[in-house]
Amino acid sequence: MNGVLLNMISLFISYMILGITLSLPAGTMTIEMSKQGLKNGFFHGWFVGIGGMTVDLIMILIIYFGFSEFLMLPTVETIMWLIGFLFLMYIGIESIKEAKQPLDVAGSNVGKKSLIKSYGRGIMMAVTPSNIVFWIGVFGTALTTAINNVSGYQFLLVASGILFGILIHDVILMGIISYTRKFVNHTFTKWTSMIAGFLLIGFNLYFAFLFIGEVKHML
């Protein structure tokens, strides 16, 4: 009994570490979380992350039920690149427009609607093709291996470990950002928001390039 429990704990911790490790590289999600956390506080940035984790959970279910190959079909990939282009263009432009808004250090502007908006942004960031391809290529490999080698409840531990690792990364990141924002002024957050917007538009141009390439390949 103790051996089984230790194996379960070991399995959970190992995939939790995997979740933390693979969340560390900076990408569009980290950029948006940091920008929202720096400008509007801990919960805004965290809700972006929760939106992303919602998509992560959906991706786990897709992989578990064997639908991941569908997402790699050329037609589906082309549609995904177009969606990623539109989403990142919208968020990038909004980020630049929001740069003029005052810094909410006291958190007085934190409301239900704005948190829902942050959550929605997290979902939009997470459904970009780069994130989905990353999920299928990296997490998908780990989860597929787990499916083939462990039972149903053990797979639940694997999936929970990955999600908990991502959650730990997000909370620590937002804790650092939340502490840092106490020492910054409006000018700093203004330029941070603008730079984040231009970075997102840069990713967006990359998606546009890939979308055009996919269309040419199909023709």
Query: Long-range pairs for 200-205 at CB < 8 Å and ≥24 separation?
Result: 200/28, 200/31, 200/32, 200/88, 200/91, 200/92, 200/95, 201/88, 201/89, 201/92, 201/93, 203/28, 203/88, 203/128, 203/130, 204/84, 204/85, 204/88, 204/89, 204/92
Question: Is the pLDDT confidence value at 184 over 80?
Answer: no
Question: Is the pLDDT confidence value at 99 over 80?
Answer: no
- Rounded to whole angstroms, the Cα distance separating 216 from 219 reads 5
For 94, the domain range is 2-218
Question: Is the pLDDT confidence value at 29 over 60?
Answer: yes
Question: Is the pLDDT confidence value at 104 over 60?
Answer: no
pLDDT tens per residue across span 205-218: 766 776 677 667 76
pTM above 0.75, yes or no: no
In terms of pLDDT, which residue wins out, 164 or 151? 164
Contact 1, 169 (CB under 8 A): no
Mean of pLDDT values over 195-200: 74
Contact 125, 91 (CB under 8 A): yes
Question: Is the pLDDT confidence value at 22 over 60?
Answer: yes
pLDDT at 171: 94
Question: Is the pLDDT confidence value at 167 over 90?
Answer: yes
pLDDT band at 67 (very low <50, low <70, confident <90, very high): confident
- Say whether 40 sits in a helix, a strand or coil: helix
What is the total count of domains within the chain? 1
In terms of pLDDT, which residue wins out, 187 or 15? 15
Question: Is the pLDDT confidence value at 185 over 80?
Answer: no
Question: Is the pLDDT confidence value at 169 over 50?
Answer: yes
pLDDT at 132: 75
Question: Is the pLDDT confidence value at 108 over 50?
Answer: no
pLDDT tens per residue across span 45-66: 999 999 999 998 888 888 778 7
DSSP string, 133-163: HHIIIIIHHHHHHHHHHS-HHHHHHHHHHHH
pLDDT tens per residue across span 125-152: 888 766 777 676 666 666 666 666 666 6
pLDDT at 37: 86
